[in-house]
Structure 1
Amino acid sequence: MVKAVVLGAAGGIGQPLSLLLKNSPLIDELSLYDVVNSPGVAADLSHINTPATVTGYLPKDDGLAKALEGADVVVIPAGLPRKPGMTRDDLFQKNAGIVRDLIVGIAKTCPKAFILIISNPVNSTVPIAAEVLKAHGVFDATKLFGVTTLDVVRASTFTASVVGEKDPRKIAVPVVGGHSGETIVPLFSQASPKVEIPEDKYADLVKRIQFGGDEVVKAKDGAGSATLSMAFAGFRYLTIVHAVRGEKGIVEPTFVYLPGVAGGEEVQKAVGGVEFFAVPVELGPNGAAKATNPFGGVTEKEKELLAIAQKGLQTNINAGVEFVKQSGPKL
């Protein structure tokens, strides 16, 4: 039996993500929580003729604890969306407090659950989660993940359009670093199968992968950000449920606390000592089994991108840690 919880289930990402989870044969119980509308979303989804049971909770009557009780996997897309002109960093003050308070609920109710954070800015919200879990004495780096899968999905889609591949699913481009602007680093040198990016298209392709979210924000003209593609990417990352069920050897790129994951120290040395970094991670029944070092054979251009990413990431990480110090972990 696997119980999945979506915190922020009534939002633009939460609703389509919950729909995908309801349709998944891997989920037995789906628990939805939000500050509004989650019982309605649950009622709607419960009419779909798939086995997973669905319940919805609001903050009243200790709803967060009830939603989290017995959770195996908790996904957090909660927070405010980006609007035109906003960067992920602009969202920080709003979403930082939301994530902090939800993580407190997890620390108290289901500290051994796999925690998947979608809420932006991921580069800061994951460190916030780590600091709160540490304060409660339940931090396990092997079970805390920042979901950066959308960057991988975009890299596949955009690269396919450049090289003339009609089916983007046939191209896999590792994307490392963080989940915001120049902290996102596509490693075309590690693509499978091998791809040749024309020199005159390289810079534009990198920029499009790094700032693809801006395309959506602009196209929605103030009505939202990337929600459907993010829900798809979040659901794709939920192949982690295979690991929860006992399957081994699953590898997915994800943003993790390197010092707490096997193989992480090697990666940390390669990225200038940054503690949180997205790399391919092997997942197992107990969480992150091993972080993979993908930097052998990277090109000079990719080294330059990595150097820029490291600097930006460290600033984002520091902001998350400092937020918890200043605001308190809400014990």
Structure 2
Amino acid sequence: MVKVSVLGAAGGIGQPLSLLLKANPLVTELALFDIVNTPGVAADLSHINTPATVKGYVGNEQLEAALTGSHIIVIPAGVPRKPGMTRDDLFNINAGIVKNLATGAAKWAPKAFICVISNPVNSTVPIVAEVLKQHGVFDPKRLFGVTTLDIVRASTFVAEAKGGKAPNTIVPVLGGHSGVTIVPVLSATGHTFSQEELDALTKRIQYGGDEVVKAKDGAGSATLSMAFAGARFANSLLEASVTKKTGITECTYVKSDVVPGVEYFATVVEFGVNGVHKVHPLPTLSAHEQKLLDAAIPELKNNIAKGIEFVNKA
């Protein structure tokens, strides 16, 4: 049995994410948790003729049932960004939500893989880690910040700029998952870029979410593309941990020592049956990319400290 729990399943990311996970034949049970509307979402998805059974859970009193026996927990819960908001503006609301869900995971699914989508990821992953530590169940191989949307965007934007097919355009994205902490390694694509192209593409990859927020004109943020990216990440983890296929990699934000003094960092990670199998070292960076990394590090350190402090001050 392979149970996947989606926490925040009735939201703008949660619903399409749950749909995509329902389509994965490796999933045998899909547990949909939120504070409202999950029975309806579950009923709708349950009519799809794929193997997973689906059940909706509502409210904290049903969190235990939603989590018990889970193989993978995916957390898109939280409030979305609105025009003019940064990811850090969301911090206090989403930090509290994530802390509560992490407490549930620590109690009722301590061996599950946890995939954090809730923003700001740079801070919410340390929040989950600190909660798991308090309960004595933290395993750094099983906790991931999902930064896949940055990789998906980078592939798309580079393919648009240089030609070629986006799925075949591989762009590692390092660092974190907001603004200047996002470090796209455009030199790894095999393309040549002018400085103007580098600057424009880097900015677009770092602030791609703003395009969507603006285009939706107050009606939401990047939900569909984030759901696609989240499902891609979860499906990769499922393939490695369930089918035991080797060589599966994704860029993801995990605890590592890749960059000295930065406790959590996104880089290429190879998955295995126990989660993180190998954290790849930093690739060779161009002067442009090294400058981006230098700018990212102090911001990342601040974001990580903010998450840790949120848990430990309580």
The normalised TM-score by structure 2 is 0.98
The question of 1:309 aligning with 2:305 is answered no
The question of 1:200 aligning with 2:188 is answered no
Query: Residue 251 of structure 1: CA displacement?
Result: 1.0
The question of 1:80 aligning with 2:79 is answered yes
2:177 alignment partner, SS class: coil
Query: Residue 268 of structure 1: CA displacement?
Result: 2.6
Residue 119 of structure 2 corresponds to which residue in structure 1?
Answer: 120
Q: Is the 8 A contact 1:157 1:168 kept in 2?
A: yes
- Aligned letter for 2:214? K
Query: Residue 170 of structure 1: CA displacement?
Result: 1.4
Residue 189 of structure 1 corresponds to which residue in structure 2?
Answer: 187
Residue 262 of structure 1 corresponds to which residue in structure 2?
Answer: none
Pick from 199, 208, 214: which aligns with 1:218?
Answer: 214
Query: Residue 161 of structure 1: CA displacement?
Result: 1.1
Query: Residue 188 of structure 1: CA displacement?
Result: 1.2
Query: Residue 107 of structure 1: CA displacement?
Result: 0.2
The question of 1:21 aligning with 2:12 is answered no
The question of 1:67 aligning with 2:66 is answered yes
- Aligned letter for 2:144? F
- Aligned letter for 1:209? I
Residue 262 of structure 2 corresponds to which residue in structure 1?
Answer: 274
Q: Is the 8 A contact 1:163 1:197 kept in 2?
A: no
> Which string of whole-angstrom CA distances, capped at 9 and with x for unpartnered residues, describes residues 198-237 of structure 1?
3321101100000000000001111100000000000110
Pick from 227, 240, 243: which aligns with 2:240?
Answer: 243
- In structure 2, what is the Cα distance between the partners aligned to 1:294 and 1:154? 20
- Aligned letter for 1:301? H
Structure 2: segments with no counterpart, 5+ residues: none
The question of 1:179 aligning with 2:177 is answered yes
Q: Is the 8 A contact 1:163 1:196 kept in 2?
A: no
- Aligned letter for 1:25? P
- Aligned letter for 1:171? T
Pick from 247, 255, 258: which aligns with 1:257?
Answer: 255
> Which string of whole-angstrom CA distances, capped at 9 and with x for unpartnered residues, describes residues 83-127 of structure 1?
000000100000000000000000000100000000000000000
Structure 1: segments with no counterpart, 5+ residues: 259-264
- Aligned letter for 1:268? V
Residue 209 of structure 1 corresponds to which residue in structure 2?
Answer: 205
1:81 alignment partner, SS class: coil
Q: What aligned pairs does 1:27-42 form with structure 2 within 5 A after superposition?
A: 27-42=27-42
**How big is the alpha-carbon RMSD for the aligned residues of Structure 1 and Structure 2?**
0.9
- Aligned letter for 1:241? L
The question of 1:147 aligning with 2:146 is answered yes
2:41 alignment partner, SS class: helix
- In structure 1, what is the Cα distance between the partners aligned to 2:192 and 2:27? 40
- In structure 2, what is the Cα distance between the partners aligned to 1:142 and 1:13? 25
Residue 53 of structure 2 corresponds to which residue in structure 1?
Answer: 53
1:79 alignment partner, SS class: coil
> Which string of whole-angstrom CA distances, capped at 9 and with x for unpartnered residues, describes residues 119-172 of structure 1?
00000000000000000000000000000000000000011111122x211100
- Aligned letter for 2:132? L
- In structure 2, what is the Cα distance between the partners aligned to 1:313 and 1:200? 26
- In structure 1, what is the Cα distance between the partners aligned to 2:191 and 2:123? 32
Residue 283 of structure 1 corresponds to which residue in structure 2?
Answer: 271
Aligned residues: 312
- In structure 2, what is the Cα distance between the partners aligned to 1:151 and 1:197? 19
- In structure 2, what is the Cα distance between the partners aligned to 1:67 and 1:169? 34
- In structure 2, what is the Cα distance between the partners aligned to 1:130 and 1:23? 30
